[in-house]
Amino acid sequence: METNRFENKNNGLENDRDLQFLLQGGDLLKVRSSSWKKTRYFRLMEDCKTMFRESKRTFKTSKTCECCCSPSFPPSFLVDEISAVRMGRQSDGLKKNTEENVESRCFSIMFKGRRKNLDLIASSEDEARQWVDSLQKILSSLNNLSTQEKTEHWIFSCLRKSDKNKDDKLSLSELKNFMHLINIEVDDDYAEMLFEKCDKSNSGYLAGEEIKHFYDLLTHREEIDVIYGEYAKTSGFMSPQNLVDFLKKEQREDATLADAHNIIQKHEPDENAKEKKLLSKDGFLMYMHHPEALVLNPDHREVYQDMDQPLNHYFISSSHNTYLMEDQLQGPSSTEAYVRALLKGCRCVELDCWDGSEGEPEIYHGYTLTSKILFKDAIKAIKEYAFKTSDYPVILSLENHCSVEQQEVMAHHMSSILGSALITSPLGNGMPKCFPSPEELKGKFLIKGKRLNKLEATFAPDNTEDDEEDVTEEEESDDEDQDQEKKKEKKKLKLAKALSDMVVYCKSVHFHGFEDARQHLSFYEMSSFKENKALELAAESANAYIHHNVEKLSRIYPAGCRTNSSNYSPVPLWSAGCQVVALNFQTTCTDMDVNQGRFLINGKSGYVLKPAYMRDPASEFDPVTLTRGDWLQHKTLHIMVISGQQLPKLSKKKSSIVDPLVRVEVYGVPDDNAEEKTNAIDNNGFNPEWNENMEFNVHVPELALVRFTVEDHDSATSNEFVGQYTLPFNSLRMGYRHVPLLNKNGDVLPSAGLFVYIMVTDAN
């Protein structure tokens, strides 16, 4: 560790050309509308974390930036708030507000959460490319930092902010300010004691090695000392055999000496210790923070399940009203919403299609004030981003309100844009008897929608068409929220043959009961259920629902009364075998957290294989009554919540400090739903310690999920969300584990986390 704790780390890019370009910065044209295009000067600040913007107006020199104390100009945004940087006119704003001749000079900065894109035009194509490449490089550099490096990076940044006079020294008042910045409230006596302990020179300030000593005291973790000390039996270090003992006894891993040697070689920072094949406490902590040692089973981070089962044997990550960025009354529609859902692993997206001007179909929420996007632009965005997170098939769920003429335009756009990736006929020869597998459909698009005839008719000699009218998804579910006049108007719509022929494996049909479906519907004919109806069936006829879903696909969607785009719990529907449980991906909530947790595994492919007893036509499984069967594998989950690390401040107010508590919840069949919470720790979000035990009974582990949530306790109002992490029960690792935390948008909180001890035993 360096003597000068204020030395700029530059993310390991000290002499990098791209970094120097960003530090120097330059003028860019910011685009808000067709008439609002203004020059702004952008540059990266010296902390390599903050992008600042200067307009042409003069700022008061006394105005000080909250982020890095620079009086030059007001803050713009943090680099870690960026989700992507995209070259060209890819954003809705640039497509709408600029001409094609500036395509090569345009680029957009996309942000996490609901913050609007930053649309920019450079003076040349080379300059635009330089901005994009440079920003992408520094983003990649930040993302690739280890947990320890992220912690140091964050602490260095807070130290810089606290050093008000920029003399690379910390006075007592600056030290107190620093403690507030890192989310610790301490009394004056403790602050003074800590200061005096580090001020070896008695100079009245900390500098150089004194700041290093202060940092070491601050980041010292007693719980790690205890665990490490128990197994460091070789001159105060862990030998390979000591490490194997720890991995076997505490972590319940089938470890070998070769594994221990690999861990030491990979994680030990001290070259002398590494040469002696020993693991120091620093190396042990670095290993414990590595993804291979976290709470999620590392084998489940990759695709590990059988992907050769029929498509309907998987839970499928699915979105409702995918085009919306916010609410469904007057919120904006955007191609970016499709991009975000697809990058999160969503495999079924919805397109509400209406007649647009100039013969071009549009997508928006009908009979509302939501904005509109072109159907062809949505298809282009879907094509580009469909397989960046997952290679497995994407279902395009069409809610079709268009005239025959514009339906033909829709068919043309999908055919020309998606090309050979679009499934337009069954795989193989002859009429299929079941769905193809996700593996067979890799890189392919399936259309879900209405079809004029049965698929079998295409293989019949006369190939006749059914005389049926087109109906929308809501009508199929008898949605009482729809106005009767609107229903009559919709039912006048006819279906274009070109569009009908594109529907192969996902034909939308009415649901008239499980018995009717069993007798009259083919495997590819799928029904959509409004949440209320689906939840009723899941509660009252769960086993029948499971049998229905052994052969067919079911899509569930939120009730029309959810005008704010809120969500419902997907858990009871998964327990009934429903595959396409569609949620509003644009809405941050517990239900979306749980959905993200369900699809966290299997390489984030968006497909999770259902348990064997939910794929068996003779299954007797019922999640409500829980009769005896293979599904009953009664386990006891023991969790000790030990400590937390670097929990974020929720308010920018200097005096605001988190009072954290941890809530642990189990979601699954009704008998497994449970929660427990710790006590709150006052005024410490940096290194709180709880050391509290919890115990849960889990009867059907294959369907259970575990959610860790950190909240800021407030006795006067409801607790405020700090971070969470949800994962399947069967993906938990036992032993001492760090739990990463995600913010409300599902993005990782750098360096923040929990430290827990987990044990799963067979219940008596």
Q: List the chain domain ranges.
A: 10-145, 163-219, 230-293, 312-452+469-614, 635-762
The residue among 414, 402, 432, 427 whose CA lies nearest residue 349 is 414
Whether domain 312-452+469-614 has CATH 3.20.20.190: the reply is: yes
Q: What is the pLDDT of residues 77-135, one digit of tens each?
A: 888 889 899 999 988 889 889 999 999 999 999 988 777 889 999 999 999 999 999 99
What distances in angstroms separate CA 315 from CA 398, 580, 581, one per listed residue? 20, 7, 8
320 is known as an active-site residue? yes
pLDDT digits (tens, 9 = 90+) for 600-647: 999 999 999 999 999 999 999 999 998 889 999 999 999 999 999 989
Which CATH architecture does the domain made up of 163-219 adopt?
Answer: Orthogonal Bundle (1.10)
pLDDT at 492 > cutoff 60: no
Tell me if residue 171 falls in helix, strand or coil. Answer: coil
Encode pLDDT of 161-214 as tens digits: 777 777 888 888 888 888 777 777 766 777 788 888 888 888 988 888 888 888
Residue 340, Cα to own-chain centre: how many angstroms? 9
Check residue 322 and give its pLDDT.
95
CATH fold, domain 230-293, is Recoverin; domain 1 (1.10.238)
Query: Any alpha helices (H) in 269-368, and if so which ranges?
Result: 271-275, 281-288, 335-343
Residue, of 736 and 366, whose pLDDT is higher: 736
User: Which tops the pLDDT comparison, 26 or 173?
Assistant: 26
Cα separation, 30 vs 39, whole angstroms = 6
Is the fold of 230-293 the same as that of 635-762?
A: no
Pick out the residues of the known binding site for Ca(2+).
321, 350, 352, 399, 657, 659, 683, 712, 714
- HEC sequence for 308-348: CCCHHHEEEEEECCCCECCCCCCCCECHHHHHHHHHCCCCE
Query: Is residue 471 helix, strand or coil?
Result: coil
> What CATH class is the domain 635-762?
mainly beta
Sign, CA torsion 186/188/193/195: positive
510 noted as active-site residue: no
What pTM, to 2 d.p., does this model score?
0.87
Q: Quick one: average pLDDT of 211-218? A: 80
Which region holds residue 606: left if phi is over 0, alpha if psi is between -120 and 50, else beta? left
Write out the binding residues.
Answer: 321, 350, 352, 399, 448, 450, 528, 555, 657, 659, 683, 712, 714
Sign of CA dihedral 685, 687, 688, 692: positive
CA 123, 127, 133: angle at the middle one, nearest 5? 145
Q: Where residue 15 falls among pLDDT bands split at 50, 70, 90? A: low
Can you tell me the distance from the alpha carbon of 30 to that of 51, in angstroms, rounded to the nearest whole number?
A: 14
Could you give the CA distance from residue 346 to residue 77 in angstroms, rounded to a whole number?
28
pLDDT at res. 81 = 85
Pick the CATH number of 10-145 from 2.40.40.20, 3.40.50.880, 2.30.29.30, 3.40.50.970: 2.30.29.30
Structure confidence by residue, pLDDT tens digits, 405-458 = 999 999 999 999 999 999 999 998 889 999 999 999 999 999 999 999 999 988
Percentage with pLDDT > 70 across the chain: 90
Q: Which of 289, 313, 365, 413 is catalytic?
A: 365
* Active-site option among 320, 401, 548, 699: 320
pLDDT grade for 477, boundaries at 50, 70 and 90: very low
In the predicted structure, residue 504 carries a pLDDT above the cut 50 = yes
In the structure encoding, which two tokens stand for residue 187, read together?
A: 């009394």
pLDDT band at 64 (very low <50, low <70, confident <90, very high): very low
Query: How high is the pLDDT of residue 574?
Result: 98
Mean pLDDT of 651-656: 63
